[in-house]
């Protein structure tokens, strides 16, 4: 998590050991790369006025089965921050999970880009925002001294690797709309969630009441970039200006948009995300056989969260195995489109080797 960049030769442990630290340690998915290379031909209009960007936006509308507005930005922090700033005035507040990336990992960018909109932290169930928390945080104060709740942000898949079912999103969104809140979805791992739910993307977004989706591209296998998808098109009226002011309008937009073509073509995004989910499932199953390892939450997408004995965790760190414990104290292992069964098995065997007790199943 340090902002310091490693010197060359530093921190270069063997492949499988480092790859589980994050799903963005993986490279670019071949489908995304070939679409990127395909876009690298000749002259095209800049700033998104090109045919490729138009095509991707049309693909998005087909994918979501609705006439949504689509924008491309460089990263998830910008996508979330700018989307929320389009939903709120500076004196408003946004209700989010206490573990939400917008709260814990965006360096105050949502507050910054909205000129002060405050985030209100809600309790969760296994990473999912509890619907009764909406009521509590909205109703506990309605006076002029309290930042007025105006939006709710849900993360799909959650920071704990769990997934909201469409009816759970609908329950939150219905309550939110009744309370006068807009609904924002941080979909940094939206692909993993949809692959896990096996539902139509529309079912877990606008049909369930989501107004704005930040559709993650980077963790899915793009070189860079996220899409901000407005289902409530009233919210996007001046969004292009927000993007430009925030330094998020790509001049050679085709390079940001084209990789999406490769991923959206022929369902590659779901196939790749489904693979990542299966690798996480495989790891969860392998670790589930180890008596000293307990699951922190069920594995529902591409992350595995487990409690390891302290000496085991320390040994893994010493061996150069990359993982984080910043969410709920559990060790997090992420899988990606590029994770192989062999890497999962090597990690599981390594963890087993560092434990005192042998496995109980197989
Ligand atoms: C990775 C991630 C983001 C995006 O982070 P950036 O580093 O800004 O691209 C947003 N939300 C969640 C839940 C994430 O895991």
| pLDDT, tens only, 253-284 | 999 999 999 999 999 999 999 999 999 999 99
Task: Name the residue at shortest CA distance from atom 7 of ligand 1.
Answer: 76
Of all protein residues, whose CA lies closest to atom 5 belonging to ligand 1? 76
**Test site for ligand 1: of 105, 160, 214, most ligand atoms within 8 A of the Cβ:** 105
Q: What are phi and psi of 22, to 5 degrees?
A: -160, 155
For residue 106, which atom of ligand 1 is closest to its CA? 8
What is the arithmetic mean of pLDDT over 230-257?
98
Please indicate whether residue 159, judged by its CB atom, sits closer than 6 Å to ligand 1: yes
What is the C-alpha radius of gyration for the chain, rounded to an integer number of angstroms? 21
Report if pTM > 0.85.
yes
pLDDT band, residue 326 (cuts 50/70/90):
confident
Q: How far is the CA of 217 from the centre of ligand 1 (A)?
A: 10
Tell me phi and psi for residue 326, to 5 degrees.
Answer: -80, -10
- Ligand 1 site, residue 23, Cβ cutoff 6 A: no
> Could you tell me the domains of the chain?
16-28+268-356 (3.90.1150.10), 30-266 (3.40.640.10)
Tens-place pLDDT, residues 332-354: 999 999 999 999 999 999 999 99
**Ranges of H-type helices in the chain:** 15-19, 30-38, 51-64, 76-87, 101-104, 109-113, 131-139, 166-178, 190-197, 239-245, 254-264, 268-288, 310-318, 341-354
Render pLDDT for 123-151 as a digit per residue (tens, 0 to 9). 999 999 999 999 999 999 999 999 999 99
* Cα 289 to chain centroid, rounded: 29
């Amino acid at each position: 998590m340090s902002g310091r960049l490693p010197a060359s030769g530093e921190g270069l442990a063997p492949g499988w050991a480092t790859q589980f630290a994050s799903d963005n340690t993986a490279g670019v998915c071949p489908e995304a790369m070939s679409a990127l290379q395909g876009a690298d031909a000749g002259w095209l209009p800049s700033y998104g006025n090109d045919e490729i960007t138009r095509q991707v936006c049309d693909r998005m509308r087909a994918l979501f089965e609705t006439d949504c507005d689509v924008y491309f930005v460089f990263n998830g922090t910008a996508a979330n921050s700018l989307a929320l700033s389009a939903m709120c005035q500076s004196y408003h507040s946004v209700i989010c999970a206490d573990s939400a990336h917008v709260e814990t990992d965006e360096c105050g960018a949502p507050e910054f880009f909205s000129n002060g909109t405050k985030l209100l932290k809600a309790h969760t169930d296994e990473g999912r925002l509890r619907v009764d928390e909406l009521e509590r945080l909205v109703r506990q104060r309605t006076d002029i001294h309290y930042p007025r709740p105006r939006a709710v942000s849900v993360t799909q898949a959650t920071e704990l690797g769990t997934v909201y079912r469409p009816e759970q999103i609908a329950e939150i969104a219905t309550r939110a709309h009744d309370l006068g809140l807009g609904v924002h979805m941080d979909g940094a791992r939206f692909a993993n969630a949809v692959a896990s739910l096996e539902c139509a993307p529309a079912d877990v977004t606008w049909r369930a009441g989501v107004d704005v989706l930040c559709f993650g591209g980077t963790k899915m296998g793009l070189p860079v970039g996220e899409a901000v998808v407005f289902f409530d098109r009233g919210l996007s009226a001046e969004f292009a200006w927000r993007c430009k002011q925030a330094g998020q309008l790509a001049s050679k937009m085709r390079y940001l948009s084209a990789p999406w073509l490769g991923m959206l073509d022929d369902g590659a995004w779901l196939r790749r995300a489904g693979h990542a989910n299966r690798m996480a499932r495989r790891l969860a199953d392998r670790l589930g056989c180890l008596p000293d390892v307990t699951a922190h939450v069920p594995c529902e997408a591409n992350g595995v969260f487990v409690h390891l004995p302290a000496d085991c965790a320390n040994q893994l760190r010493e061996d150069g195995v990359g993982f984080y414990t910043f969410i709920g104290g559990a060790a997090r292992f992420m899988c990606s489109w590029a994770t192989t069964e062999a890497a999962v098995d090597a990690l599981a065997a390594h963890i087993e080797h560092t434990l005192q007790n042998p496995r109980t199943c197989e």
